Amino acid sequence: MSERDPATSVGVDHEKTGVGSVFVSNYPPYSFWGEDQRPRIEEVLDAPGAQDARLGLYIHIPFCRRRCKFCYFKVYTDKNARDVSAYVDAVVREVELYAARRVFAGRKLSFVYFGGGTPSFLSAKHLSDLVARVKQVFPWDAVEEVTFECEPGTLTRPKLETIRDVGVTRISLGVENFNDKILEDNGRAHVSREIYRVAPWIQELNFDQLNIDLISGMVGETWDTWKDSIRKTVEMDPDSVTIYQMELPFNTVYSRGVLDGGAVPVADWATKREWHAYAIEQLESAGYGVSSAYTMLKQDGRARFAYRDALWHGADLLGLGVSSFSHVGGVHFQNLSRWESYLETVGAGQFPVSRAYATSARERLTRELILQLKLGRVDLSYFSKKFGIDPQEEFADAFRRLTERGMLQVDRGVVTLSRTGLLQVDLLLPEFYAPEHQNARYT
């Protein structure tokens, strides 16, 4: 049976992995964002901020030792220490520009997320300087969670001590796989011995939470190598495990090969879902519970994911850095994606925004609904209270179609996805898109 592809919103056979974004991270689709809506940013910045809306900070660190062959993020592998210093200065200048605007007056940060790229690429000196200067603008005294993405090969114990000392509570370690040949073939910079080298340091430094990232279906993966990676993950005993299924967004090394006529190097969707399901089963047996379609949390009450939960419930997010995304006061916007233009624009005292989209109330309802469906269980009364719309009536046709296909059930206002539905939730979400967003490219 064909399903609607979030990348193109046309009927395609999804058993074979095709080129195009599958992971749904926002709504409306990014392809609808444009330069013409940038003036709406000034409007929201000059308006009073919603004091009941949580506020988070995302800091994009676009540096990597090597670009992975499946990577589609804005990253640079050719920057030196002087470039990094210039970038830190630009990020600080950017946050200063935003902090002076009315929408942020009197509001405290609830969460901070360092993403990349590779945040742990930063030296201890650069990291300390960046955090100290950002805190002067936006104090972190009310922050619940500070997440920091790490590539194992970039970590030393002194650097981890600095990461802890600046206030990081949640380390997200980009393991992806434990097989050295698979790591090398997919362009990862680290090898397995570096994972085992840093793990004891993380434990000794007593971070609140360690998350391990895995990817189901990396090039070269087999049942045996996947089972081995899951076994080694359980042995490392992290607080949470995040599992993604390999996809082929348009601007990756692998995707360019396929578009040039090469063979698809990635396992089909059915196989990736089987591997993902196996990982869930093994982690459940080891004392973890399903927290979302991607995340397993240890059931000891310690693990959490404040960043995700806040964003999926409509929090404001201020994104800093080249190509980063923001969501403030119902307006989405993205920063300039070129290094030179980002630094020059911020240096001139201007907001480095490339495109924006001002959402309607219904679009905000849809956005929260589809993102929260990734949790696997949603109480629809939340949306009725917040938006004044009964989603069970508003999206009756979508719920009916997915129920008939065995992907979910609705009982007394609570939606529960089946395991089958949870494992392919991103392919289901376009069922809830407005007509004008159907048959359009996602990115």
Tens digit of pLDDT per residue, the chain (443 long)?
223 233 333 333 458 888 887 899 999 999 999 999 999 999 999 999 887 889 999 999 999 999 999 998 889 999 999 999 999 999 999 999 999 999 999 999 999 999 999 999 999 999 999 999 999 999 999 999 999 999 999 999 999 999 999 999 999 999 999 999 999 999 999 999 999 999 999 999 999 999 999 999 999 999 999 999 999 999 999 999 999 999 998 889 988 898 888 888 889 999 999 999 999 999 999 999 999 999 999 998 788 899 999 999 999 999 999 999 999 999 999 999 999 999 999 999 999 999 999 999 999 999 999 999 999 999 999 999 999 999 999 999 999 999 999 999 999 999 999 999 999 999 999 999 999 998 777 77
Q: ∠ at Cα 220 (219, 225), nearest 5°?
A: 120
List the alpha helices (DSSP H) in 142-262: 157-165, 180-185, 192-204, 223-236, 253-259
Q: In 3-state terms, what secondary structure has residue 60?
A: strand
> pTM for the complete prediction?
0.94
Peptide bond into 391 cis (omega under 30): no
Q: How far is CA 288 from CA 79, 100, 147, 206, in A?
A: 40, 43, 20, 20
Contact of 103 with 47, CB cutoff 8 Å = yes
Rounded to 5 degrees, φ, ψ at 439 are 55, 40
Domains annotated for the chain, with CATH where assigned, are 1-21+361-443 (1.10.10.920), 29-310 (3.80.30.20)
Q: Are strands 288-290 and 295-298 parallel, antiparallel or unpaired?
A: antiparallel
300 vs 393: CA distance, rounded Å: 38
